Amino acid sequence: MASLSFLLGMVPATEKVESADDQLRADFQAFKDYENSDELKHFLELEKEIKSNDFVLRKKKMKKAAFKDSEEFHKETEYAVLKKSEKIVWYYKTKKKYPFKEIEKWDLTFDEKFNTGKLDTSKWITRYDRGEEEMNSSFAMEDDKSFPTDGDNIEFYDKKARIVTKSGSMKGLVWRQNQGFVLEDFSFTSGMISTAKSFKQKYGIFNAKVKMAAGSVAQAFWMVSDGMLPHIDVARFENGKLYSNYFWGKSGSNHKSLSKTNGSKYADTYFIYTLEWSPNKLVWKINGKVFKTQTSGVPQEEMYINFSSNLKQDASESGLPSAMEIDWIRVFKLKGQ
């Protein structure tokens, strides 16, 4: 099926459609938009009038010369032109084939394009949820060498978000298992964004178009529940390796499933990272291709999404500043699930 998404205005000509699923969703939206358009409404009204008995009788009563100067002639001509137009032809061919039955099963539940050039605070917080809840403050984990600032390391350009890790003096709280929260000095800063306060979901398709930077900085698209576990790394890039991890269970009986690959081909280039989560399975995909599958310990509670970039204690300090870039995020949920 030929696509008219660009013509119909769903996808700007400057925006790349990265996958067949993206194209199909763009076509579906274009189809629905056109189905409700004034142009199609006008075409259908013309069609109804021209095929009516009243119109046919009026036409029969007119002489040819008179008909060519009549309103009926102009309406019939306009109808004929519209009927052969690219948009109408595409609409009716698409309506006949209707390749959208699978897509109609899904609702778009979260959509972020970073179009405004600033962080939408109705969607995102820039702290771990515990810091937001208990202290109204950011904090670092025990193995962090960089401190996650309250949004100072989130930048925007070309309708994209950048989470930057860089050198910079900072004093902040660190959570240490044996001491609790301790105030310490940092020589590096980093950042994160989280939907902990705005969006959580159980099951569905979680997509993000992300560019991970080469180097030693740990950059991740991850999901977590209200507790520390379950924890899913949809994609984690660190020290030249790309990981898709899953940690679950309860304290004292934790389980983990780790997958990694050479990350060189995934560095400094945008990829679409996807988690497909159903009641009995987790499937990780990169640009639509399956990377990892998990059927044990599948989470059954709502989880929220996070993006973070930070320097770990054992990481090299070279290559800074380093930025993780996010183009867009989309989450879908199966209707009725």
Please name which of 326, 329, 27, 330 lies closest in space to residue 163, comparing C-alpha atoms: 326
* Domain membership of residue 34 as a residue range: 6-100
Q: Is residue 267 part of a domain?
A: yes
What's the domain count of the chain?
Answer: 2
pLDDT at res. 189: 97
The answer to whether residues 204 and 187 belong to one domain is: yes
Q: Is residue 1 part of a domain?
A: no
Residue 62 neighbours by CB under 8 Å, 6+ apart: 70, 72
Last residue of a domain, one of 100, 135, 159: 100
Last residue of a domain, one of 51, 82, 100: 100
pLDDT at res. 318: 87
The answer to whether residues 84 and 131 belong to one domain is: no
Q: Is residue 202 part of a domain?
A: yes
The answer to whether residues 139 and 278 belong to one domain is: yes
The answer to whether residues 56 and 134 belong to one domain is: no
pLDDT at res. 23: 82
Q: What phi and psi, each to the nearest 5 degrees, are found at residue 265?
A: -75, -10
d(CA 176, CA 266): 33
The two tokens of residue 140 are 């670092």
Q: Which residues pair with 241 in a beta bridge?
A: 238, 262
Q: Which residues pair with 2 in a beta bridge?
A: none
User: Tell me, what CATH number does 250's domain have?
Assistant: 2.60.120.200
The answer to whether residues 113 and 188 belong to one domain is: yes
pLDDT at res. 13: 35
Q: Is residue 124 part of a domain?
A: yes
The answer to whether residues 221 and 281 belong to one domain is: yes
Q: Is residue 316 part of a domain?
A: yes
The answer to whether residues 20 and 118 belong to one domain is: no
Please name which of 90, 109, 105 lies closest in space to residue 8, comparing C-alpha atoms: 90
The answer to whether residues 169 and 59 belong to one domain is: no
Please name which of 158, 141, 193, 152 lies closest in space to residue 321, comparing C-alpha atoms: 152
Q: Is residue 85 part of a domain?
A: yes
Last residue of a domain, one of 76, 100, 124: 100
The answer to whether residues 169 and 208 belong to one domain is: yes
Q: Is residue 53 part of a domain?
A: yes
From first to last of its 337 residues, the chain has per-residue pLDDT tens of 334 333 333 433 334 445 677 788 889 989 999 999 999 999 999 999 999 999 899 888 888 777 788 888 999 999 999 999 999 999 999 999 999 998 899 999 999 999 999 999 999 999 988 777 778 788 989 889 999 999 999 999 999 999 999 999 999 998 888 888 899 999 999 999 999 999 999 999 999 999 999 999 999 999 999 888 999 999 999 999 999 999 999 865 689 999 999 988 999 999 999 999 999 999 999 998 999 999 999 999 999 999 999 999 888 888 899 999 999 999 999 998 8
Other beta carbons less than 10 A from residue 218's beta carbon: 24
The answer to whether residues 174 and 74 belong to one domain is: no
The answer to whether residues 192 and 50 belong to one domain is: no
The secondary structure of 294-330 as a DSSP string is: E-SS---S-BEEEEEEE-BTTS--TT-SEEEEEEEEE
The answer to whether residues 69 and 150 belong to one domain is: no
